[in-house]
Structure 1
């Protein structure tokens, strides 16, 4: 099997996020190089779900195994030039939010990840994209939340004292939450939970954009992240 140089985009969807990280890890173990491009929302949501630190094991900082964050890039996204220089064999985007899919379909490239998609297509680099909003409804996963109706506002709050991100006040600040889950078992009143399933109805406009995405040149829409393994292994 050929060892590929993969550019991997992550956007801000909780749905398919854990599965996407797991697939990245599997492909890394198989010897592929993975450069990770993370949108601003993708960075925030990855931290909320306690996954962001896993990126450092997948993309360890060596050449073509770096992590590039939208929050740390300039407006011209200079690292995207690697696509034009044929440094990558493949662009993978998962999870791809409905917002990201809409931008790609209508030619808007104003973020790090959508610019990756645009330059990959312009450079004839194959694109494998997993939209979170396809034809059927989905069940996503909630981040950690605080149920105010069960919270007793304890003078000494064990979850608050133990939180490494200082995210717990009278609510959980998801921009500070690291997704570690330490707080759940420490709450004496069961007021904190995370990972609960939440059903989502796919909007017709999002399903339509996904169909349009599948018709674009150099793009293959994949139904879910684990299906990427078979596709990549055949390349």
Structure 2
């Protein structure tokens, strides 16, 4: 199998599953992961960035292309015209990314990759997060009902990244973008007000579903229910 291009966008649903699927796929072929700005933020917040970086260390063209490292013309996405990739996968695909694709907008790294892949008749697989009811996880949750029991937040004093900071009104603020998932704050909080990997159920809205359903109208594009389903299409899973 020729190398695969895999796009990651700013959606938490299917993010864990996508990273695991990339780790499976890299055993069968080279994988280039194209990560949008929002995708990079979420990978870091969910504690998956280092895991992904270590997983795709392989021969060319394996590796990670970050949007923040690319000029606005996104030249590395033009590999699709050189016959480098057998297919392009986007998982998870946020509603923002899906909306761009269905309207032919290519103004960021991942949407650029998809639009040019379609122009060059390369197979595209999209795993949208807003079409089906799915279970997802929130990386960190601060339970305010428990947090009010303390006069001063002990957890904020041990946070080395500045993710937890004292606040005169709320007592403590949580900045997910700075959290490295070390979980030290949870270990010192006497009320267990900080929880990690909290499971939620995300239900599709009809408005979102109508937008996502337009993907089915695009020739050369396959909509998949999960990243595992994409691997089955490729004969890997």
Q: Report if TM-score (shorter chain) is over 0.5.
A: yes
How far is the alpha carbon of 1:114 from its aligned partner? Answer: 0.3
Quote how far apart the aligned CAs of 1:225 are: 1.4
8 A Cα contact 2:10 2:94, kept in partner: yes
**Cα distance change of structure 1 residues 234 and 205 upon mapping to structure 2, 3 Å threshold:** same
Contact 1:159 1:184 in 2 (8 A): no
Q: Give every structure 1 segment of 4 or more consecutive aligned residues whose post-TM-superposition deviation is greater than 4 Å.
A: none
Q: State the alpha-carbon separation in 1 of the partners of residues 98 and 7 from structure 2.
A: 12
Distance 1:82 1:16 in 2: 26
Residues 43-52 or 225-234, more deviating: 225-234
Q: What's 1:168 paired with? A: 164
Is 1:107 the counterpart of 2:109? The answer is no
Root-mean-square deviation (Å): 2.0
Task: Tell me the TM-score normalised to structure 1 length.
Answer: 0.90
Q: Using the alignment, how far apart are the partners of 1:125 and 1:164 within structure 2? A: 45
Do structure 1's residue 34 and structure 2's residue 36 form an aligned pair? Answer: no
Supply the distance in 2 between the matched residues of 1:53 and 1:104 (Cα, whole angstroms): 29
- In the TM superposition, residue 176 of structure 1 has moved relative to its aligned partner by 0.7
Aligned residues: 229
Task: Using the TM superposition, give the Cα deviation of residue 159 of structure 1 relative to its aligned residue in structure 2, in angstroms.
Answer: 5.9
Structure 2 residues without counterparts, runs of 5 or longer: 166-171
Q: Corresponding residue for 2:234? A: 232
Pick the structure with more strand per residue: 2
Report the counterpart of residue 203 of structure 2 in structure 1. Answer: 201
The secondary structure found in structure 2 opposite 1:22 is helix
Is the aligned partner of 1:45 residue 2:47? Answer: no
Contact 2:23 2:56 in 1 (8 A): no
My pick for the range that moved more, 145-154 or 19-28, is 145-154
- Equivalent of residue 83 in structure 1, options 74, 80, 90: 80
Q: Which residue of 2 aligns with 1:21?
A: 19
* Offset, 1:218: 1.2
In the superposition, relative to structure 1, how do residues 91 and 147 fare at CA in structure 2: closer, same or farther (>3 Å)? same
Matched, 1:146 2:142: yes
Which residue of structure 1 lines up, in the alignment, with residue 168 of structure 2?
A: none
Contact 1:145 1:171 in 2 (8 A): no
Residues 192/233 of structure 1: CA separation in 2 closer, same or farther (3 Å cut): same
Name which of 53, 57, 61 aligns with 1:64. 61
The alignment's TM-score, normalised by the length of structure 2, stands at 0.89
Pair 234,142 (structure 1): closer, same or farther in 2 beyond 3 Å: closer
